[in-house]
Amino acid sequence: MFFKKKKKSISKNPFYNSGENLVIYFRCDKCNETFRSHLRKYYDIAVDYAKGGSMYSLQKEYIGSKCQNRIQISAVFNRAFRPQTYEITGGSFIAEEEFEKQS
């Protein structure tokens, strides 16, 4: 079994804007455990000086309680916290409704 990096187009924005946070929902590709994560603006999603300070970037790794699979999420946002590119490895983004159904 192997995991390929998935490049997704921004057809549906998986980052839910919630005041001080962006909220994401995703699922482990290995065991199907579902996750919700609150990403703090300016903290988890920090100014990216490598990009001249005009963008924000996110770099996160998650390990669930059910298996050892690592889920890595990275993204670049503009100043309005809208994702320009994002990538998830080892997992898949799911909709909020999908998360609520399972918990």
Give, for 98, the enclosing helix (H) or strand (E).
Answer: helix 96-102
The count of chain residues that interact with Zn ion, using the rule CB under 5 A, is 8
Q: For Zn ion, which residue of 64, 83, 90, 91 counts as binding (CB under 5 A)?
A: 64
User: Whose Cβ is closer to Zn ion: residue 69's or residue 74's?
Assistant: 69
Stretch that binds Zn ion, among 2-10, 40-48, 57-65, 94-102 (CB under 5 A): 57-65
Q: How far apart are alpha carbons 64 and 30 in whole angstroms?
A: 10
Residue nearest to Zn ion (CB): 28
Q: Half-sphere exposure (CA, 13 Å, Cβ side) for 4?
A: 3
Under 8 Å between Cβ of 87 and 8: yes
Radius of gyration, CA atoms only, the chain? 14
- The answer to the question of residue 28 lying near Zn ion (CB under 5 A) is yes
Residues that bind Zn ion (CB under 5 A): 28, 30-31, 33, 64, 66-67, 69
